[in-house]
Chains A and B, each alone.
Chain A
Amino acid sequence: MKAGRFDLLLAKDVGEAVKALQTEDAKAASGFQSLGPMLNLRLAQPRLIVNLTRIPELSAVEETADMVVYGAAVTHAAIEDGRVPDAAGGALARVASGIAYRAVRNRGTIGGSLAHADPAADWPTALTALGAKVRVAGPRGVRRAPVAGFVRGAFAPALGEGEVIVAVEVPKASAAARFGYVKFCRKVGEFAEAMAAAFHDPDTGVTRLAVGATEAPPQLLEGDFADLDARLATLDLGADPVRQRLHRTAARRAMAEATTGIAA
Chain B
Amino acid sequence: MSGKGVGASIRRKEDDRLLRGRGRFIGDMRFTGQVEVAFVRSPVAHGRIRSVTAPEEFRDHVFAMEDMTGCDGILAKCGIPGFKISKQFPLAKDKVRFAGEPVAMVYAATRAEAEDIAATVSLDIEELPANYDMREAMKPGAPLVHDEWPDNAFLEGLVDKNFDAMEEAAIKVSRTVSTSRQCMAPIEGKGCIGVWDRQLEQLHLWTATQMPHIVRNGLADTLGMDQRQIRVVAPDVGGGFGWKGMLQPEEVCVSWLAMHLDRPVKYLEDRREHLVAASNCREHHYELTAYATEDGRLLGLDAVAHVDSGAYSVYPFSACLEAAQVGSILPGPYDFGAYRCKTYAVCTNKAPILPYRGVARTGVCFAMELMIDAVARAAGLDPMEVRRINLVKPEQMPFRNITGKDFDMGDYPESLRRAAEMIGHDRIRERQKSAEADGRKVGLGYSTYCEQGAHGTSVYHGWGIPMVPGFEQSQVRLTPDGTLEVRVGNQSHGQSLETTLAQVANEVLGVDPEKVNVIHGDTAMSPYSTGTWGSRSAVMVGGAVAASCEKLAERVKHIGAHLLQTSPDHVRIGEGEVRSETGAVTLKEIAATWYLAPQHLPGDVNPDGLELTAGYRPKVDTGTFSYATHAALVAVDTDTGFVEILDYVVVEDGGVLINPMVVDGQIYGGTAQGIGTALYEEMPFDKNGQPLASTLADYILPGAGEVPAVRVGHMETPSPNTRFGQKGIGEGGAIAPPAAIANAINDALKESGVEMTVSPITPHRLLSAIMAAETEAAR
Which A positions have Cβ atoms within 8 angstroms of B? 1-5, 37, 41-42, 184, 186-191, 193-194, 241-243, 245-246, 249
Complex contact A191–B697 (CB within 8 A): yes
- Verify A37–B112 contact, CB threshold 8 A: no
**Which residues of B lie under 8 Å from residue A184 when comparing CB positions?**
640, 642, 763
Bound: A1/B275 CA distance, A: 13
Is B697's CB under 8 angstroms from A187's CB?
no
Nearest A-chain residue to B271, judged by Cβ? A1
**Residue on B with the closest CB to A194?**
B640
Q: Which residues of A have CB within 8 Å of B647?
A: none
Does residue B695 face the partner (Cβ distance < 8 Å to A)? yes
Q: A2-B111, A4-B112, A242-B768 are in contact. Are A187 and B763 (CB under 8 A)?
A: no
Chain B residues near A191: list those with CB within 8 A. 697
B703 at the A/B interface (Cβ < 8 Å)?
Answer: yes
Residues of chain A within 8 A of B116, CB atoms compared: 4-5
Q: Which of A42, A193, A242 contacts B771 (CB 8 A)?
A: A242
Q: Are B640 and A249 touching (Cβ within 8 A)? A: yes
**Inside 8 A of A186's CB, which chain B residues have their CB?**
680, 700, 762-763
User: How far apart sit A246 and B767, CA to CA, in the bound complex (Å)?
Assistant: 9
- What's the nearest-Cβ distance from chain B to residue A167, in Å? 29
Question: Could you list 20 further interchain pairs (A-B, Cβ under 8 angstroms) beyond the known A242-B767, A246-B640, A246-B641?
Answer: A1-B115, A1-B270, A5-B112, A5-B116, A42-B119, A184-B640, A184-B642, A184-B763, A186-B700, A187-B701, A187-B706, A188-B704, A190-B697, A193-B763, A242-B764, A242-B768, A245-B639, A245-B771, A246-B763, A246-B767
- A249 to B440: give the CA distance in the assembly, Å: 14
**Chain B residue contacts of A246, Cβ below 8 A:** 640-641, 763, 767
Complex interface bits, B253-275 against A, C-beta within 8 A gives 1, otherwise 0: 00000000000000000101000
Chain B nearest Cβ from A188, distance in angstroms: 3
Known: A2-B111, A242-B767. A188 touches B706 (CB 8 A): yes
CB within 8 Å of A: which B91-110 residues: 110
Within the assembled complex, what's the spacing in Å between the Cα atoms of A191 and B763?
14
What are the residues of chain A within 8 A of B702 when measuring CB–CB? 187
Residues of B within 8 A of A (CB): 110-112, 115-116, 119, 270, 272, 639-642, 680, 695, 697, 700-706, 762-764, 767-768, 771
Separation in Å of the A194 CB from the closest CB of chain B?
A: 8
Q: Are A190 and B763 in contact (CB under 8 A)?
A: no
List, in ascending order, chain B residues with CB within 8 A of A4's CB: 112, 115-116
**Which residues of B sit under 8 angstroms from A5, Cβ to Cβ?**
112, 116
Q: How far is the CA of A189 from the CA of B697 in the complex (A)?
A: 10
Instruction: Report the separation of the CA atoms of residues A3 and B763 in the bound assembly, to the nearest whole angstrom.
Output: 34
A2 touches B112 (CB 8 A): yes
- Compute how far the CA of A103 lies from the CA of B767 in the bound complex, rounded to whole angstroms: 32
Give the distance in Å from the alpha carbon of A245 to the alpha carbon of B641 in the complex: 10
CB within 8 Å for A249 and B680 given contacts A184-B763, A187-B700? no
**How many angstroms between the C-alpha atoms of A119 and B702 in the bound complex?**
24
The docked-state distance in angstroms from the alpha carbon of A243 to that of B703 is 24
Which residues from chain B contact A241 at a C-beta distance below 8 Å?
Answer: 771
**What's the Cα separation between A37 and B706 when bound, in Å?**
24
B contact face: mostly helix, strand, loop, or mixed = loop
CB-defined contacts of B639 to chain A, threshold 8 Å: 245, 249
Nearest Cβ distance between residue B579 and chain A, in whole angstroms? 56
Residue ID in chain A nearest B701 by CB atoms: A187
User: Are A187 and B111 interface neighbours, CB within 8 A?
Assistant: no
| Bound-complex Cα distance A242 to B697 (A) | 20
Q: Are A188 and B705 in contact (CB under 8 A)?
A: yes
Given A188-B705, A246-B640, A42-B115 contact (CB < 8 Å): yes
**Cα(A193)–Cα(B640), bound, Å:** 10
For the complex, what is the distance from the CA of A187 to the CA of B642, rounded to whole Å? 10
The listed residue with most A CB atoms (<10 A of its CB), out of B642, B701, B762, is B642
Assess the B272–A37 pair: CB atoms within 8 A.
no
The answer to whether B705 and A187 touch across the interface, beta carbons within 8 angstroms, is: yes
- Asked if residues A189 and B767 are in contact (CB atoms below 8 Å), the reply is no
Please name 7 pairs of A and B residues whose Cβ atoms are closer than 8 Å in the assembled complex, sorted by A.
A5-B112, A187-B705, A189-B703, A242-B764, A245-B639, A246-B640, A246-B763
Min Cβ gap B635→A in Å is 15
Tell me the nearest residue of chain B to A37, going by C-beta.
Answer: B695
A129 CB → nearest B CB, Å: 20
A212 shortest CB reach to chain B, Å: 16
Chain B residues lying within 8 Å of A188, measured Cβ to Cβ, are: 703-706
Q: Given A3-B112, A246-B763, A187–B703 Cβ distance below 8 Å?
A: yes
A67 to chain B minimum Cβ distance, whole angstroms, is 34
B200 to chain A, nearest CB (A): 33
| Residues of the A chain whose Cβ atoms lie less than 8 Å from the Cβ of B771 | 241-242, 245
Chain B residues, CB < 8 A from A187: 680, 700-703, 705-706
- The distance in angstroms between the C-alpha atoms of A189 and B701, with both chains bound, is 12
B693 → chain A, closest Cβ, in Å? 12
Residues from chain A with a CB closer than 8 A to the CB of B642 are 184
Partner of A41, one of B695, B703, B763: B695
How far, in Å, is A190 (CB) from chain B's closest CB? 7
Give the shortest distance, in Å, between A28 (CB) and chain B (any CB): 22
Q: In whole angstroms, how far apart are the Cα atoms of A240 and B640 in the complex?
A: 14
Residue of B at shortest CB range from A45? B119
The complex places the Cα of A184 from the Cα of B697 at a distance, in Å, of: 15
Q: In the complex the two chains form, what is the Cα distance from A26 to B110 in whole Å? A: 25
Which chain A residues border B762 with CB–CB below 8 Å? 186
The CA of A237 and the CA of B9, in the complex, are separated in Å by 54
- How far is A241 from B641 in the complex, measured between Cα atoms in Å? 13
B contact residues around A189 at 8 Å (CB): 703, 705
Distance to closest chain B CB from A65 (angstroms): 40
In the docked arrangement, what's the CA distance between A3 and B705, Å? 31
CA distance A255 to B270 in the complex (A): 43
User: Among the interface residues B115, B639, B642, B697, which one has the most CB atoms of the partner chain A within 10 A?
Assistant: B639
Closest residue to B706 on the A side, CB-wise? A187
- Distance, CA A194 to CA B639, complexed state (A): 12
Of all A-B residue pairs in the complex, the 7 with the closest CB atoms, nearest first, are A188-B705, A2-B112, A249-B639, A242-B768, A186-B700, A242-B767, A187-B706
Residues of B with C-beta under 8 A to A1: 115, 270, 272
Nearest residue in B to A264 (C-beta to C-beta)? B439
- Which residues does chain A contribute within 8 Å of B706, judged by CB atoms? 187-188
Give the distance in Å from the alpha carbon of A41 to the alpha carbon of B115 in the complex.
Answer: 11
| Closest Cβ–Cβ distance, residue B203 to chain A (whole Å) | 27
A43 to chain B, nearest CB (A): 10
Contacts of B703 in A (CB 8 A): 187-189
Q: Write out the residue numbers on chain A whose beta carbons fall within 8 Å of the beta carbon of B701.
A: 187
Query: A246–B111 Cα gap in the complex (Å)?
Result: 42
B115 touches A2 (CB 8 A): yes
Q: In chain A, what residue has the closest Cβ to B112?
A: A2
Q: How far is the CB of A14 from the nearest CB of chain B, in Å? A: 31
Cα–Cα distance between A188 and B642 once the two chains are bound (Å): 13
Complex Cα spacing A191 to B112, Å: 28
Q: Could you say which residues of chain A place their CB within 8 Å of the CB of B110?
A: 2
**Complex Cα–Cα for A243 and B762 (A):** 12
Complexed CA–CA distance, A23 and B123 (Å): 33
CA–CA, A246 to B680, complex, Å?
A: 18
- Nearest Cβ in chain B — how far from A108, in angstroms? 15
A149 to B705, CA, bound (A): 34
Q: Which residues of chain B are within 8 angstroms of A37 by Cβ–Cβ distance?
A: 695
Of B272, B640, B701, B771, the most chain A CB neighbours within 10 A belong to B640
Q: How distant is the Cα of A189 from the Cα of B696 in the complex, in angstroms?
A: 12
Minimal Cβ-Cβ distance residue in B for A1 = B270
Residues of A with C-beta under 8 A to B111: 2
A103 to chain B, nearest CB (A): 13
Minimum C-beta distance from A219 to chain B (A): 19
In angstroms, how far is the closest chain A Cβ from the Cβ of B396? Answer: 43
Residues of A within 8 A of B641 (CB): 242, 246
Closest to A263 in B: B438
B549 to chain A, nearest CB (A): 46
In whole angstroms, how far apart are the Cα atoms of A190 and B119 in the complex?
A: 31
**A5 to B, closest residue via Cβ:** B116
Which residue of B has the minimal Cβ distance to A4? B116
Which chain B residue shows the least CB distance to A101?
A: B703
Q: Please name the residue on chain B nearest to A182 by beta carbon.
A: B640
Contact B272 A41, beta carbon cutoff 8 Å: yes
